[in-house]
Amino acid sequence: MKLSGSNILITGGYGFIGANLVNRLSQLSDTRIRLVDNMDREQQYSIANNNANVETIIGDLRDPNLCNEVCKGIDIIFHLASKAGSMEYYKKNAFEVFSHNVMIDNLLISAAIENKVNFFGYVSSAFVYPIELMSQIDSPPILEFQDLPANPAISYGWAKFMGERSLQYALKNNQKMKGAIYRLANVYGPGQSIDLDRGSIIPVLIRRALEYPKLAPYKIFGEGIETRSYCHINDVLEAICISVDIKDSDQLIGPVNIGGEHRISMKDLANLIIEISGKEIILSHQEALPPTTLSQSLNCNKAQDLLNGWSPKISLKSGLQSMYNYIEKKIKSEKMTENV
């Protein structure tokens, strides 16, 4: 299976990862892309729709008729659409997140089978792993087989766990369709939401630094001792693209961990962004309940084995610097638009 020359469907195509994937694949010759998005969140990333090979459909994938329509004539699906947000958002909207995501996963997989799609790439999450594996600051990097016995910390993780199983069962019953399951952890880069309520920690901290002291205090929740490993979007996209082009006799690639190699505490992350800003910023600690997960780090050796030696190439510091520059330009552009 080759990306070049294929008809590709990208769900969640206006989301962070989806939009970056659209822009990357639209550069391939003879590749036709159809993106679908319900525009549930603010559009963060500009997609060059002057490309005649990119088709945009706005709609809700909870509609089985829409799922069937968008899958017609498609060779490859990258399924990124999901209801997502911050940890606080997941806690407040647990049932909505779970029911929404499980529904669209099952409907889209069924439509892919009905329309004889050749390859289904399912974007999953490190949140499928049991909370016990993330209960210590220095918990060992998690291996793929450790998803059982299942005990995800949040409903988003349970939904992804169910989505993975749905695709695995579908492939067993439909030998002609191949697939891949990518378990991503803490992806960051251009196009992420800078919304202070639903945005991820990196874009939110960068925005607060850029607009400091207007958005003071520059805060993190609790002591900031919990640790994460971060992976730049360009490294993630490289792994996803390799999974399609790779010559492999297996029907399913994965589940496979895709993530960064070095962990950092929230406090050190905030201080690193302060360093990049060059500003005199005082880090504030806001009182909060203990974090749901004290660590989140993945062992990605399997990705190296299955994906032609893949490993992340972009260091956290250089990635944060480029992210800082991107958000700075974005904020300036928005302010100029407001003043017109």
User: What are 71-121's pLDDT values in tens digits?
Assistant: 999 999 999 999 987 778 888 999 999 999 999 999 999 999 999 999 999
3-state SS, residue 269: helix
The answer to whether position 198 is within a domain reads no
The answer to whether position 77 is within a domain reads yes
| Contact residues for 94 (Cβ-Cβ < 8 A; gap 6+) | 154, 155
The answer to whether position 212 is within a domain reads no
Question: Position of tokens 């989301």?
Answer: 15
Output the pLDDT for position 91: 87
How many angstroms separate the CA atoms of 21 and 33, rounded?
10
How many angstroms separate the CA atoms of 223 and 169, rounded?
43
Task: Residue 63: give its domain's CATH number.
Answer: 3.40.50.720
User: What are 57-73's pLDDT values in tens digits?
Assistant: 999 999 999 999 999 99
Residues counted in the chain: 340
The answer to whether position 277 is within a domain reads no
User: What are 128-168's pLDDT values in tens digits?
Assistant: 999 999 999 989 999 999 999 999 999 999 999 999 999 99
The answer to whether position 280 is within a domain reads no
- Integer CA distances (angstroms), 6 to 10, 58, 110, 179, in order: 12, 22, 21, 15
How many angstroms separate the CA atoms of 28 and 23, rounded?
10
Number of structural domains in the chain: 1
How many angstroms separate the CA atoms of 163 and 84, rounded?
15
The answer to whether position 151 is within a domain reads yes
Residue numbers of the domain that contains 109:
7-191+230-261+296-313
32-37 and 7-11 as β-strands: parallel, antiparallel, unpaired?
parallel
The answer to whether position 174 is within a domain reads yes
3-state SS, residue 189: coil
Judged against a pLDDT cut of 90, whether residue 171 lies above it is answered with: yes
Degrees (nearest 5) of the Cα angle 176, 182, 183? 145
The answer to whether position 289 is within a domain reads no
User: What are 205-237's pLDDT values in tens digits?
Assistant: 999 999 999 999 999 989 999 999 999 999 999
- Integer CA distances (angstroms), 336 to 14, 22, 208, in order: 23, 27, 19
User: What are 248-275's pLDDT values in tens digits?
Assistant: 568 999 999 999 989 999 999 999 999 9
Output the pLDDT for position 195: 84
